Amino acid sequence: MKKFCFLLIAIIALFSCSKDGSSDYLSATIPSSWETRSVSDSIFNSEHFVNPLSSSYTLPNGLIVFKEGNHYRLDDMLFPNPSNNGNASIQGVITSSDTRYWPSGIIPFKFSSDCNPLYQSTALSAMSELSDSTGVQFVLANSTTPNYIMFKTGFSNRSYVGMLGGEQEIELAFFWQKYVVMHEIMHALGVYHEHQRADRDSYIEVQYDNLYHSSWNNFAKQTTNSYDLGDFNFESIMLYASRSTDRDVVIDITEPIMLKTDGTEFPANRQYLSQGDIQAVRTIYGNPYVDLDTAIEIIRDEITATDEYYIADYEWYIRFYQDSAHTVPIINVRPLQVTLKKEIRTLGNHGDVVSTYSYQTITIPAGNSSYLLDSHRNIENYYESNATEVDFVLYSLN
């Protein structure tokens, strides 16, 4: 059974795609001097917003996305043509559509020819940190890889959310800043903006009176088909800062666009991957910590002149947690397959016990923090024949 913690770390290197297109696991090493590279605070604390274009489409959840070339866009998130793809929807902090997750947490990638070695080293550093922290794996795609990320340079930072299928772009303007790159990779893994959580109003207030109406959808809450994981995370690399200098979005750049509920401002973290970010990715691609609990309802418990009876109804539940101490419940965001080892004990006339074993596999649908695995009425007595007792142990979780 795989244990489950939360998110990613990095290895990294000056590294270009192999000429023969072979698929290798990421293993390069970035020069230490690159790790100290920094850029201005204005880049750390501002984001690129996009104004509506001429053609728009309303998603089933009411959000409006805007056509840009062959895709639709909301802020820095890209979606396939909604009319051709039923999964094109915004679904909260992480997408709840498991078809948009990368199988087995393995993400193939390529670099376009316009990505120079310095740009590639930054992306490799971001992927390495994510890989080390969360267990997802980034591998070089080859000519036969069906689904992969293509890194390319551009005039803005943007990414599809989750796995699209086929080639999907991550376009980057700030290729030299690792955690800006990581922000877009997190989108590709299936993670959305922190300030779009369904519960965000308990933590922040969006200053709509300082935003042009055309940009309001960039701050819309995701209230349906979404998974809010843990508490609101002010350290998340997926959270925008209180201030933006984008004059196409902000009415008065000297005033904030978001505040904490106590009226104070907060910065955008583009310096490190927070534990909450790590937890989000591990929730998608790892297995949770689990408990197998038993609920017992006693039907009969007595001693008579002829026998001793104990009859009880048993229910076996599996419960999911994000920590090894089993203190923080969590939902499973993708279907999980559980295999149980079942023991049936039969008590004979002379008190001898015969055990038989079997294995039972159950698929638990996504969206549960606990799930009923099985139920049985246990009958225990000493003198009557055919008394039975059933028990389960967790054998595997995938």
Sheet harboring 387-397: ordered strands across?
Answer: 289-303, 308-321, 370-381, 387-397, 336-347, 353-364
Task: Report, as an integer, the average pLDDT of 312-328.
Answer: 88
99/309 Cα distance (integer angstroms): 51
Of 109-123, 130-144, 380-394, the one with minimum mean pLDDT is 380-394
pLDDT in tens, 61-71: 455 555 555 55
For residue 99, is pLDDT > 80?
no
- If residue 311 lies in a helix (H) or strand (E), which one and from where to where? strand 308-321
pLDDT band at residue 352 using 50, 70 and 90 as cut-offs = confident
Per annotation, catalytic residue among 47, 169, 171, 184: 184
For residue 12, is pLDDT > 80?
no
pLDDT band at residue 384 using 50, 70 and 90 as cut-offs = low
Cβ count within 10 A of residue 310: 17
235 belongs to the catalytic site: no
pLDDT in tens, 158-201: 898 889 899 999 999 878 889 999 999 999 998 889 999 989 99
Percent of the chain with pLDDT over 70: 72
Q: Residue 271 — left, alpha, or beta (φ > 0 → left; ψ -120 to 50 → alpha)?
A: alpha
Task: Please report the pLDDT score of residue 81 as a whole number.
Answer: 53
Identify the structural domains of the chain with CATH numbers, from first to last. Answer: 32-284 (3.40.390.10), 288-397 (2.60.40)
Task: Please report the pLDDT score of residue 141 as a whole number.
Answer: 96
Alpha helices in the chain (DSSP H): 32-35, 41-44, 117-134, 178-189, 275-285
| pLDDT greater at residue 273 or residue 228 | 273
Q: Residue 328 — left, alpha, or beta (φ > 0 → left; ψ -120 to 50 → alpha)?
A: beta
pLDDT band at residue 149 using 50, 70 and 90 as cut-offs = very high
Task: Please report the pLDDT score of residue 204 as a whole number.
Answer: 96
From the list 200, 187, 343, the residue with the least C-alpha distance to 259 is 200
